[in-house]
Amino acid sequence: MALELVKDKWVNAVSVLTIGATKEEGGSRGRIVKCGGEESLPFLFSEGKIPHRPVIAMEVLDVEPDDWPRTLTSAIGPAIKNPVEWAQKCESEFKADLICLRLAGAHPDAQNKPVDQLVKVVKDVLKATTIPLIIVGCGEDKRDNEVLPQCSQAAKGEKVLIGEVVQENYKTLTASVLADGHSIIAQSPIDINIAKQLNILITDMSMPLDRVAINPTVGALGYGLEYAYSIMERARLAALSGDKMLAMPFISFVGYEAWRAKEAKALVLEFPKWGSELERGITWEALTTTAFLQAGADIMVMRHPKSVELVRNHIEELMRG
């Protein structure tokens, strides 16, 4: 007697988020990126449609990073000193789907760059590239509220993804993003209830559901990945079961988390039995990313070009069904 595979039937789908606008749409991008739209759990094509493959954004900082390991900075090369050249390299050489521009230089404890300089970086990156753009701040709420609304206005018409907003500080940036026609990243601290509440607050300001991405705050391999995975899985199950306030695509900043891990950046002289630090770092980022793909991640923000290549090939295999 043949056994029949049990299939779940879902009543809802994840909303489709569109990033970027072509010239015909009032922007300057060569193409747009659509993510989300899943009607089933990740890569279960027999249970529902998965119309858009997960996409990879490569992270670019407006200042040269001083805390990245040599194995990571050397892969990017001299372009790491110039955000425009760095972004161009991510597009032309590393074949990223999107650029994620992190305005780290805005932080008061870093260079505390003036707003006009930061806005110029955004404009210059948009002018020098053709793929869609994600803009994230420095992570200091007060400073981001000064900088990001100006960047939002400077990128008006480009339909960029901007963030991040949190439950205690969402009104200023949400209003700017809404007015300028962009989409927003809602960050929650690995908590499904806070994620839902923040989405409710944002949409109460008239932000459409299909212009919100959830950052559930992930961890790296060996550093809380399992807990973050379970939160994402619970949120996706709730979304497919009908909860529209959790039915948004996930964005995961996996590169940031993976390259903070000791195992990814410790020198081989310190831990000779661990093997090459280059191979370790690349593997740590790639495995962290592939795990979150299975949790439902739609946008992966990554750093090392070799990790990007490995994950891109993995996505292509998964999307063959």
Confidence of residue 222 (pLDDT cuts 50, 70, 90): confident
pTM, whole model, 2 decimals? Answer: 0.96
Output the pLDDT for position 1: 62
pLDDT 10s digits, 127-180:
999 999 999 999 999 999 999 999 999 999 999 999 999 999 999 999 999 999
Q: Is the pLDDT of residue 215 over 70?
A: yes
Q: Which CATH class is domain 16-313?
A: alpha beta
Domain locations along the chain: 16-313
What does the mean pLDDT of the chain come to?
95
Residue 222 Cα distances to 73, 205, 231, 261, 273, angstroms: 23, 38, 16, 8, 18
Residue 219 Cα distances to 84, 169, 216, 303, 310, angstroms: 29, 23, 10, 15, 20
Confidence of residue 270 (pLDDT cuts 50, 70, 90): confident
